[in-house]
């Protein structure tokens, strides 16, 4: 009866593990039930062992006793002795068979529990691996999202920078145009042998040169003034505090570091 119950429990437990992964609480309760059942079997085995010892002791006592003479006929005494020994032998064989059967059943249960334990270890390892992969995926996803957001911010800043530069260029082109060529021509007519006048650059271009120089080589932000720089624009930048002269070389200027 108990063997069939344990077999039924084992079958039920196996089907549960095959259908779905049990929680740690359910697995612990099932393991406790199995241990309790095995303990009950051990108690029965202990009782059987005690019974075997008692029968063995009784057999030993019978061997030592001098039984009362029921009959003086040797044949009758021999027959009675054989019958008694056969009974004791059958009892001992029954106890031995029961003990062996119990031992076999316990061994099978132990092997089954060991297999179940190994399966749980594999499931736990698999779950840990899945958890680790999921954590790595979450971290990777977070990094990718942060990188994407940073990239979007950089693109926005670049677009805003281009917008500001375009607005600045339009403003400077409208309010600070280059001197007209006609005016320059009226001041002085040059001879054919003279070199052509240097092409002046706009105030916008001067500012771009100063900005690029400051950003690319902040340790050496000074720009040498040449003939393409219109002097009134240089004076305007210096007077407004937008540009600064080199303390030792007045022909070199730099942009004020407003960003620091």
Cβ burial of 99 (10 Å; 0-12, 13-18, 19+) is middle
Helix (H) or strand (E) holding 143: helix 74-175
Distance of alpha carbon 215 from alpha carbon 203, whole angstroms: 18
Cβ burial of 236 (10 Å; 0-12, 13-18, 19+) is middle
Higher pLDDT, 195 or 131: 131
Please work out, in degrees rounded to the nearest 5, the angle formed at the alpha carbon of residue 217 by the alpha carbons of 213 and 221.
55
* β partners of residue 252: 224
pLDDT (tens digit per residue) in 48-59: 888 888 888 887
Q: How many CA atoms lie within 13 A of 196 on its CB side?
A: 4
Q: What are phi and psi of 253, to 5 degrees?
A: -130, 165
**Model pLDDT, residue 244:** 93
**Model pLDDT, residue 246:** 93
As a whole number, mean pLDDT of residues 94-99 equals 88
**What does pTM read for this prediction?**
0.39
Separate counts of helices (H) and strands (E) for the chain? 6, 3
**Model pLDDT, residue 66:** 65
| pLDDT class of 186 with cuts at 50, 70, 90 | very low
pLDDT (tens digit per residue) in 218-244: 899 999 999 999 999 999 999 988 999
Residues 242 and 208 sit within 8 Å (Cβ to Cβ): no
């Amino acid at each position: 009866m108990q063997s069939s119950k344990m077999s039924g429990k084992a079958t039920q437990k196996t089907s549960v593990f095959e259908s779905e992964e049990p929680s740690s609480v359910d697995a612990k309760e099932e393991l406790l039930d199995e241990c309790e059942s095995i303990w009950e079997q051990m108690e029965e085995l202990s009782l059987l062992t005690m019974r075997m010892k008692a029968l063995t002791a009784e057999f030993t006592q019978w061997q030592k006793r001098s039984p009362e003479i029921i009959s003086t006929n040797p044949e009758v005494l021999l027959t009675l002795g054989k019958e008694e020994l056969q009974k004791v032998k059958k009892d001992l064989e029954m106890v031995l068979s029961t003990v062996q059967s119990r031992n076999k059943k316990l061994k099978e249960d132990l092997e089954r529990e060991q297999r179940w334990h190994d399966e749980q270890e594999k499931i736990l390892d698999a779950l840990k691996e899945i958890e680790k992969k999921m954590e790595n995926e979450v971290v990777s996803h977070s990094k990718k999202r942060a990188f994407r957001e940073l990239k979007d911010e950089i693109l926005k800043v670049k677009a805003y920078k281009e917008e500001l530069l375009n607005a600045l260029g339009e403003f400077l082109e409208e309010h600070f145009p280059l001197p007209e060529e006609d005016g320059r021509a009226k001041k002085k007519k040059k001879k054919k042998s003279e070199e052509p006048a240097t092409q002046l650059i706009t105030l916008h271009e001067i500012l771009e040169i100063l900005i690029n120089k400051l950003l690319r080589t902040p340790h050496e932000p000074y720009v040498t003034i040449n003939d393409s720089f219109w002097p009134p624009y240089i004076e305007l930048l210096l007077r407004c505090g937008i540009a600064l002269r080199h303390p030792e070389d007045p022909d070199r200027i730099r942009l004020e570091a407003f960003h620091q």
